[in-house]
Amino acid sequence: MSQAEIDFAYHCAVHKLKPEREYKFHSARRWRFDFAWPEYMLAVEIEGGIWTNGRHSRGAGMEADMEKYNEAGILGWTVLRFSSRMIKTGVAIETTIKALKLKEISK
């Protein structure tokens, strides 16, 4: 787990959220979500290396992510994507809580 994933997991624990880690959402591909709430079809992806020219910010990696996220959307998933900065500032957990509340209301 990256430091950003550890931090997000901690924020989830503080707010008593219990996501599944490394959730495999596609039967034919090896795609996994960093964090997922399958009952709400809500996923969180932590985008590492975006400031250091990492995989998520180079062409081939971005296209692979697009394919994964598009397929997730077709299957009905809501995918929230966060940077390490968004986790540190609290934006990630606030957005996740907001999405979970809206999903709960619409159930």
**Letter for the amino acid at 44?**
V
Total domains, the chain: 1
Q: What is the CATH number of the domain that holds 94?
A: 3.40.960.10
pLDDT in tens, 52-77: 565 555 577 789 899 999 999 999 99
pLDDT in tens, 6-31: 999 999 999 999 999 999 999 899 99
Q: Where in the sequence is the domain holding 43, given as residue range(s)?
A: 3-106
Whole-angstrom distance, CA of residue 92 vs CA of residue 84: 9
The mean pLDDT of the chain is 91
In 3D space, the residue among 56, 34, 46 whose CA is nearest the CA of residue 84 turns out to be 46
pLDDT in tens, 84-107: 999 999 999 999 999 999 999 887
Look up the pTM and report it: 0.88
| Token representation of residue 84 | 């390490």
In sequence order, what are the residues at sequence separation of 6 or more whose Cβ sits closer than 8 angstroms to the Cβ of residue 100? 17, 37, 40, 42
